[in-house]
Structure 1
Amino acid sequence: MDIESWGRQNPIKKESWRTVIALAYQSLGVVYGDLSTSPLYVYKSTFAEDIQHSESNDEIFGVLSFVFWTLTLIPLLKYVFIVLRADDNGEGGTFALYSLLCRYTRVSTLPNGQLADEDLYEYKNDRNLSADRIGMSLKSTLEKHRFLKKILLILALIGTCMVIGDGVLTPAISVFSAVSGLELSMAKHHHQYVEVPVACVILVFLFFLQHYGTHRLGFLFAPIVITWLLCISAIGVYNIIHWNPHVYQALSPYYMYKFLKKTQRGGWMSLGGILLCITGSEAMFADLGHFSQLSIKKSAFKSVPHILEDTELMCVKLFIVKMRFSAVVLFNVNKGPCRCTKLKCFMLATANSTKILTRAASLQIAFTFVVYPSLILAYMGQAAYLSKHHVIASDYHIGFYVSVPGKYFDPLFSTFSFFFLNAFEVAASLSLLTSQHIHMFIIVSEKLRYPVLAIAILAAVVGSQAIITGTFSIIKQCSALGCFPRVKIVHTSSKIHGQIYIPEVNWTLMVLCLAVTIGFRDTKHISNASGLAVITVMLVTTCFMSLVIVLCWHKNVLFAICFIFFFGSIEALYFSASLIKFLEGAWVPIVLSFIFLAVMYSWHYGTLKKYEFDVDNKIPINWLLTLSPNLGITRVRGIGLIHTELVTGIPAIFSHFITNLPAFHQVLVFLCIKSVPVPHVRPEERFLVGRIGPKEYRVYRCIARYGYRDIHMDDVEFEKDLVCSIGEFIRSEGRGQSFEAVEDIDANERLTVIGTTSTHIDGIRICEENGELTHVDTEMIEISSPEVARKRVRFLVPESPQMDLSVREELQELMEAREAGMAFILGHCYVRAKRGSSLIKKLVINIGYDFLRRNCRGPTYALSFPQASTLEVGMIYHV
């Protein structure tokens, strides 16, 4: 196949645009549901404070001006055009920014980090740009001071805790505001007796459905949100034309000044309600992994012609990575490192399409061209209606539903009449219709309120689903990075990556959400709580982004100062207005965040102290080399996997095990399964394999590395990859193949990277039940489906005259040991604070960490080790 002709004939640009539009359509249902339902409660929450709606309309126009500029500056300018570029290899959110900073500044608190981790592909992508003098000075300062490292970690945990708190408050306020449309048809003091039970039933139903996953109904999410956006924008256009066509004047910033000057302290406090118009903006960044350039680039690489060599393909990937840091292409193909004609043609053929795909184009298109204008029209329409209705009997008469035309429900005429009404208004202005025709259609259009109520409830459910799923995702990330106890993670879809369900978290969120709904029973207090949670996360993002601009993007420090000063001052203003309402509901996210922060930090602190004990009490490798049959040590058939968090030395649990049971397996592997601060680890970089001691000892060390978004393989796939990696290490070592040592531990041990894909394993073959020989292909499975029947795998040593006899014998012994069985030896540690420790340390370790350890999932479940083959060795750790 000729690469030049492929570059001309392959319609990659058209397919890429089609992919972006499809992802933009899907993002409307998954990402923007929460943000789209904010018109339900913004005006109602704003005017719940001590401000009066006067006939001069200064108040309503001032609120509209604040809403317009807040939506324009925060979601549109800050997130769409700036923050979305700060992706961590396609992932977004608070922990993604923290992970990005950890790689650039080495401030990660993961205890078992290695220099070898910096050779990962994701790390190499981050070393393309050189830092300036100020950036290097700031980087050095952060790396030297442990206190600053802890501050960064605590900031990341606070942002995460507020996201979890938002997962409690968003479903409550969204669903409760949606069903509040029932209050217009009830007595003033009777609507709460219906609204609260209905909202609770919907919430219970929503959390109950999480067990089944969203993929079965996910195809309805985008149509529901699109219908809702069209509905509120059409209502807004109708209200603007019918009530006040001059409402656009309120978009002037001058009305914000008039509003604050007239309302004084009451106007400042009402900013906590205006803040709710950007609820869900952080989800735009947190859900970036579902709709970012990474997923699009994966599909683009599937169409790369196979005649490109590995080095050329790597240059293509680096070419695309470099374009991610700027709005224009920073890489000149003609002057690039690869002067191959084939490669130049391919790069030129894909340059236009990849420019479009490199900055989360799907989310940008969906928000800029659909969500943003729909929300602006909705808020302008409500303001136009309220500008002509100054007599407000109670706060619920200023909500969203009061601006919806309709008193009766007639599904036959409601849909058609509404969309034709605006056309008749325009025709009347041109004297094409009489006032009697318009009056007739207004009567028909006033039958829309209940259909809108139904659509609003569905949209609220979809918006709540997004924040619940995001909560599951961020807790999984925290758990992977050692900041949250081990929990059960269920993958609800075998096709869609990222759809997970955590039972413990789900039921906890449901109980807290019901407690908030029943306890407050109005949107005022819930909105005060939700506003504080939202703005706190945004402040954390602003702080991290200022560091990313200097340390990761290597921009002038002036840009970072301008960023944090401009957006930080806006968010600080809203934060102060929300914090002042502490006694009116804002205490809820603070209490929830304090509880979750205590859980996270206690678990992280206990994990660090446990690792420090392992490091201080590890056994030298020379101790293992002195073991011999003369000391009564026997070797039994099989493979023994000693799980440890250590990347060097022998764990204390092994010496404890040998002391009480003087025997170990004929093949011994010290296995470390560790997380690294990257979202994904490529399969060919998964394992670090090394030998401990002489060859005849048959003792190896294997380090399996996972990113915080990776999904661990099941036990069968993991065993297969592990054995294949060790076999490939033995074969390559015996053949004299030059390995690039990535980690020199000591004179007796050297670790090297062993790939697990078919392109990196040569000659290791497996045989399944059907007897068919296949090359090993162990791409990391994204989803483990319980319905797939497991096959028994046998390993075969291929016949090769070039293979050394000693290598063949070692491989044969490895295969025989695998056939004899594999045992997993884990440490069951009881951590206690040592004598002389402070009272706080005793409380954290002896009570907090011990309680979490006893009630979280065991390591066997988290590591997918089979229970029947697991042996736990108990020890007491005095830290």
Structure 2
Amino acid sequence: MIAGISIVILVFLFMIQRFGTSKVGYTFAPILSLWFILIGGIGFYNIIKHDTTVLKAINPIYIVEYFIRNKKDAWVSLGGVVLCTTGGEALFADVGHFSVRSIQVSMCSMVYPALILAYTGQSAYLRQHPDSASDAFFKSVPGPMYWPMFVVSILASVIASQAMISGTFSVVHQSLSLGCFPRVKVVHTSANHEGQVYIPEINYFLMLACVGVTSGFKTTVKIGNAYGIAVVFVMTLTSALLVLIMIMIWKTNIFLIILYVVTIGFVELMYLSSVLYKFTLGGYLPLAFSAFLMTVMYVWNNVYRRKYHYELDHMISPARLTEIFTNKNMSRIPGLAMFYSELVQGIPPIFEHYVSNVPALHSIIVFVSMKSLHVNKVPAEERYFFRRVEPRTLFAFQCAVRYGYNDVREVAFEETLITRLKEFIQEETWMQIQTLSIGGNMTESGRESDREIEHNEISKAKRAKEEKLREIMEQEIEQVEKAWEEVGIVHLIGQNEVIASKESNVMKRILVDYAYNLLRRNLRQSEAVFDIPHKRMLKVGMTYQL
């Protein structure tokens, strides 16, 4: 019955994730504050009532004496002791949702004092009632407070899971931005805090996994063993990555790094060795989940990089591109086409595949490449980077749209891109006029003293060129506006199929032909991720032999 009730609560918790981290957090925050106040207050009450001398337990010398007295049993017990600190690992994942200062203030002013009072109060109670060790928490609660505390404790356990769910969304979102995770839909749930996201596929996967673990294990003993290994591994890996940051980014003094490794590293490795002792008693579960997810991420990233290098090796040369556009059999039709590609510079091979089968091109072509950078946010004025595909008569552009891993894609993406394109045409023309003026002044300075007539002719030619450039600029901007307002935009999406080449070995065939294609068929396609309207979308298929 307890397992069934837990499953109902879990399903309810995952169902409300769609409302967003901020709304869920505002709902849970008062309950969590009440929880810490209650456990701290009850702990203080137990200290005063039962045994004030228990405060001596804060002295670290008792840790040393405990290990001397119990030896191996003390080391094994660390796997249970670490469960007292569970929840701390969620702080690392939740930095994307809250500021560092807010976590520091909440930890030092409320969380840590409340936990110390709670555990010390239970110890004081056990000094008077040593037979209640198996259920010290609820038995130490005063009679009138039992049922209120029971309700708040259930709610607090639900909220503790919320931190890990939010952290999982944040980590998957960043992995997706770096090309290390299969395409999933990311819903940004806050207009003010870009890091707050909701990922439906991950939410339902977590729900099924949690329900399966709860129904399979049924008791908190095995779940505790599994959770202990997960917690300590997260803390140990975080500390290891922090050492790399201290060395490579902060340039910290080597003696401070050694001191950190010796102190923090030694303690965490002690805990890790202790929880691994219970590997067969449920501790294998988080490692099995990790192995599965790492396999999925490796398969996706490996083939993702192979596809990218294939396009680099087979991209269309400028001469071939000019030949395609100037082909007499090629028709130019009104409108603007956005051709999506992974390449920032160069034209992908799928474009030639398209024009060889459909000899018609829109009057304006924009090759769009969306890239996620290894930065938090990209300023709006630096997000769109345009370059013209020469010669100018082709009226084709390349556009790299750059996002940070915490950036939100604009809702009016098409309108923003058109605005930036017109600004680019204006800036390009202005730079050409500036270059023309500088070149003309340099020519004039050498001839001003002896050839006044030629000086006037040069000035007239320069003004004529400037007028011509301005006229071309106005025509191009007018053509862009007309294509946008009257004809509209067509989105050309590359639908790439990948197969292993004939000379590939067995492992590569399994990786490309089976593992990757299985993931690709069962996950979202690029048009679903980019939220491209289906009425103005055209898919272009091509097979890559990797």
TM-score (norm. length: structure 2): 0.90
TM-aligned CA distance change 1:833 to 1:630, over 3 Å:
closer
Of the candidates 223, 226, 250, which is equivalent to residue 33 of structure 2? Answer: 226
Assess if the C-alpha contact under 8 Å between 1:644 and 1:651 holds in 2.
yes
Other-structure match for 1:460: 157
Task: Confirm or deny: 8 A CA contact 1:668 1:699 kept in the other structure.
Answer: yes
Indicate conservation of the 8 Å contact 1:826/1:871, yes or no.
yes
Equivalent AA in structure 1 for residue 342 of structure 2: E
* Contact 1:547/1:560 (8 A) holds in 2: no
Q: Which residue of 2 aligns with 1:804?
A: 470
Q: Quick one: distance in 1 between partners of 2:501 and 2:48?
A: 74
Alignment of 1:378-777 (within 5 A): 378-391=118-131, 397-405=134-142, 446-493=143-190, 497-714=194-411, 717-736=412-431
Number of the residue aligned with 2:3? 196
What does the per-residue CA deviation read over 1:145-164, in whole Å, with 9 as the maximum and x for residues that have no partner? xxxxxxxxxxxxxxxxxxxx
CA contact (8 A) 1:642 1:824 kept: yes
Residues 227-246 of structure 1: pairs in structure 2 closer than 5 A: 227-246=34-53
SS of residue in 2 equivalent to 1:203: helix
User: Which residue of the partner structure matches residue 269 of structure 1?
Assistant: 76
| Structure 1: gaps spanning 5 or more residues | 1-193, 293-359, 406-445, 741-799
Question: Structure 1 239/665 Cα, relative in aligned 2: closer, same or farther at 3 Å?
Answer: same
Counterpart residue type for residue 719 of structure 1: E
Opposite residue 199 of structure 1, the aligned amino acid is: S
Tell me how many residue pairs correspond in the alignment. 515
Distance apart, 1:694 and its partner CA: 1.7
The answer for unaligned runs of 5 or more in structure 2 is 436-465
Per-residue CA shift, 1:423-463, capped at 9, x if unaligned? Answer: xxxxxxxxxxxxxxxxxxxxxxx222111000111112222
Distance change (3 Å), C-alpha of 1:837 and 1:738: farther
Measured at CA, do residues 596 and 739 of structure 1 come closer, stay the same or move farther in structure 2, by a change above 3 Å? Answer: farther
* Alignment match of 1:287 (pick from 65, 73, 94): 94
- State the partner residue of 2:518: 851
User: Would the aligned equivalents of 1:546 and 1:561 in 2 still touch at CA under 8 Å?
Assistant: no
Letter paired with 2:302: Y
Is 1:875 aligned with 2:542?
A: yes
Aligned-partner Cα distance in 1 for 2:369–2:325: 25
Find the residue that maps to 1:387 and give its secondary structure: helix
**Deviation, structure 1 residue 532:** 0.9
Query: 1:603 & 1:734 partners in 2: Cα distance?
Result: 43
Cα deviation code 1:360-387 (max 9, x no counterpart) = 3222111111111111000101111122
Letter in 2 for 1:256: I
With over 3 angstroms needed to count, the CA separation of the structure-2 counterparts of 1:676 and 1:454, relative to structure 1, is same
- Measure, in 1, the Cα distance between the counterparts of 2:85 and 2:209: 23
Residue 29 of structure 1 is matched in structure 2 by none
Structure 1 counterpart of 2:126, which letter? L
User: For residue 723 of structure 1, what is the amino acid of its counterpart?
Assistant: I
Contact 2:232 2:271 in 1 (8 A): yes
- Partners of 2:54 and 2:120 within 8 A in 1: yes
Question: How much has 1:214 moved relative to structure 2?
Answer: 4.9
Residue in 2 aligned with 1:89?
A: none
| Residues 215 and 554 of structure 1: CA distance in aligned 2, closer, same or farther (over 3 Å) | closer
* 1:767 equivalent in structure 2: none
Structure-1 separation of matches of 2:15 and 2:406: 25
Give 1:283 deviation, angstroms: 2.3
Structural mapping, 1:91-490, within 5 Å: 194-292=1-99, 360-391=100-131, 397-405=134-142, 446-490=143-187
**CA distance change for structure 1 residues 627 and 391 in 2, over 3 Å: closer, same or farther?**
closer
Give the conservation status (yes or no) of the 8 Å contact 2:93–2:167: yes
1:836 corresponds, among 500, 503, 515, to 503
> 2:318 and 2:531 mapped to 1: Cα distance?
28
Aligned to 1:823: 490
Q: Hey, what's the Cα distance between the residues in 2 that align with 1:453 and 1:730?
A: 67
Q: Deviations over 1:198-230 (max 9, x none)?
A: 222211211122233354454332211111111
CA distance change for structure 1 residues 370 and 737 in 2, over 3 Å: closer, same or farther?
farther
Preserved CA contact (<8 Å) 1:549 1:559? no
The alpha carbon displacement at 1:839 in A equals 2.4
- CA offsets 1:108-147 (integer angstroms, 9 cap, x no match): xxxxxxxxxxxxxxxxxxxxxxxxxxxxxxxxxxxxxxxx
CA contact (8 A) 1:828 1:875 kept: yes
**Distance in 1 separating the partners of 2:473 and 2:218:** 73
Preserved CA contact (<8 Å) 1:831 1:845 = yes
Higher mean displacement: 662-671 or 829-838: 829-838
C-alpha displacement of 1:544: 1.4
CA distance in 1, matches of 2:193, 2:327: 56
Q: Return closer, same or farther for 1:738/1:245 CA change in 2, 3 Å cut-off.
A: farther
Contact 1:713 1:864 in 2 (8 A): no
Provide closer, same or farther for how the CA distance between residues 626 and 712 of structure 1 changes in structure 2, counting only shifts above 3 A.
same
Task: Give the SS at the match of 1:857.
Answer: coil
CA distance in 2, matches of 1:287, 1:215: 12
How has the CA–CA distance of structure 1 residues 737 and 403 changed in structure 2, closer, same or farther, with 3 Å as cutoff? farther
Q: CA deviation at 1:494?
A: 5.0
Aligned-pair distance for 1:693? 0.7
* 1:862 and 2:514 correspond: no
After TM superposition, the runs of 4+ consecutive aligned structure 1 residues lying more than 6 A away are 737-740, 800-803
More helix by share: 2
**d(CA) in 2 for partners of 1:576 and 1:288?**
27
1:245 to 1:708, Cα distance in 2 relative to 1, 3 A = same
Q: What is the distance in 1 between the residues matched to 2:60 and 2:505?
A: 55
Structure 1 distance, partners of 2:256, 2:154, is 43
CA–CA distance in structure 2, aligned partners of residues 361 and 638 of structure 1: 51
> SS at the partner of 1:447?
helix
Query: RMSD of aligned C-alpha atoms?
Result: 2.1
Which residue identity does 2:274 align to in structure 1?
Answer: A
Measure, in 1, the Cα distance between the counterparts of 2:24 and 2:493.
41
How does 1:789-800 map onto structure 2 within 5 Å? none
Contact kept in structure 2, 1:482 and 1:607, CA below 8 Å = yes
How far residue 663 of structure 1 moved from its aligned partner, in angstroms, is 1.4
Letter in 2 for 1:370: M
CA distance in 2, matches of 1:484, 1:377: 43
Which one has more relative contact order, counting CA pairs under 8 Å at least 6 apart?
1
Q: Secondary structure at the match of 1:677?
A: coil
Return the offset for 1:597: 0.7
1:737–1:869 CA distance, 2 compared to 1 (3 A):
same
Corresponding residue SS for 2:108: helix
SS at match of 1:287: helix
Shift of 1:592: 0.4
Secondary structure at the counterpart of residue 130 of structure 2: coil
Which range moves more in the overlay, 254-263 or 824-833?
Answer: 254-263
1:484 aligned counterpart, secondary structure: coil
Distance 1:462 1:240, change over 3 A: same
